[in-house]
Chain A
C-alpha cells in the first residue's frame, strides 16, 4: 500500500546504526495525518487522497469554503493540506489516520521539501560559475558573470543565467534510507540530508510506490 506522510524537519544529528557505525540522520516529526478527502477517477478524473497535518493556530484564518471542506469530512482544520496520488483500488477513506508506523527501518523513502531561501544570489552561488582571477591584474571584477551576449543577435538570449532569487524551490530527494521509527513520538530518522530548513514542512513517501 502506498503511503505518504507530512512532517516537520527538526534538524540533523548522528546515531549509531545496527552495525555500530555512526551515521548522519535527519529527524523528521511526521504525522499523524488525517485523510481529508478521497479523490476518485469518476468524480475528479484521477485517484488521490488529500491529507492534512498539524493544528491551526486560529480558526479565523481559514476561509469559509475551507471550513466547509473540513466540516464535510468531520475533521478539525489542519495547518497544511497536501495531495498524494494513490492507486484506484486503494483502501484509504476519509478520516483515516496515517502515522509513522506505516514506515519501518531500512525502507527507502522519497522526501519532498522546499530548499532554504538564499535571497538574491550571485552567479557563482546560483549557477556555479567559476569566477574571475584574484590576481593577474584583475580588479573590481571577481564574482561577475562576464559577457551576457554578443553584437548579433543584438539582444540577450532567453534563459541566460544571471543573478537573482535563489532557493525555496520544491526539491525531491529519492532513495533515502530510514534508520529508525519512533511511533510514540511520531519521529522518522532518515539517513542523510533532507531538503529544507529546520522546522520546515516536508513530505515523506516510500520510494517507488
Chain B
C-alpha cells in the first residue's frame, strides 16, 4: 500500500487516550454542537466491542438506562470526543461481549480485574 494513502488520516489519529479494553467501564465525553452553542455530554457504560481499523476504529458502549439496554457506537478518533475516562477494568474472556445483550440484572455484571 502506498504510504501516502494514509498520510492525512493517520495524522488525525488520537494520541492522548488512555488504553481501554472490552469489559472496561468507561465514561465518554462528547461535544454536541447546537447551532453555535457547544456543550459536553457524558455517556457511561461498559465497552462491549472494539473494532480496530486505523482511523476508522470504533467501539460500542452499553449501559442499562431505566431498565432498558442502550448501546452507542463511538468513532475512536473522532474530534468530537473530548475525553475518555476509564472508570473500572473488567475481567472478561472474550473480545466481543455480545452475550451481555441476552443477560439481565445481576448476570449482566462484569467482574472487576484485580491488578496484582
Contact = CB atoms under 8 A, between A and B. Distances in A.
Interface of A: 10-11, 13-16, 20, 22, 25, 27, 29, 180, 182, 185, 187, 189, 199
Contact of A14 (B4, B7, B55, B79): B55
A27 B78 contact: no
A189 B8 CA distance: 9
B9 A13 contact: yes
B80 A15 contact: no
B6 interface: yes
Given A13-B55, A15-B55, A22 B8 contact: no
Given A15-B12, A27-B4, A182-B7, 13 more contacts: A11-B1, A13-B9, A13-B54, A14-B9, A14-B55, A16-B55, A20-B31, A20-B80, A22-B55, A22-B75, A29-B2, A187-B4, A187-B8
Contacts of A10: 2, 4-5
Interface in B52-82: 54-56, 75, 77-80
A14 B77 CA distance: 11
A22 B8 CA distance: 13
B78 A22 contact: yes
A15 B2 contact: no
A29 B77 CA distance: 25
B2 A11 contact: yes
24 contacts: A10-B4, A10-B5, A11-B1, A11-B2, A13-B5, A13-B6, A13-B54, A14-B9, A14-B55, A15-B12, A15-B55, A16-B55, A16-B75, A16-B77, A16-B79, A20-B31, A20-B78, A22-B56, A27-B4, A27-B8, A180-B8, A187-B7, A187-B8, A189-B8
A183 to B, nearest CB: 13
Contact of B78 (A11, A16, A29, A182): A16
Contacts of A187: 4, 7-8
Nearest to B2: A10
Most chain B CB within 10 A, of A11, A15, A185, is at A15
Contact of B8 (A11, A20, A182, A199): A182
A189 B9 CA distance: 10
Contacts of A182: 7-8
A22 to B, nearest CB: 5
Nearest to B80: A20
A23 B3 CA distance: 20
A86 B43 CA distance: 55
Nearest to A199: B2
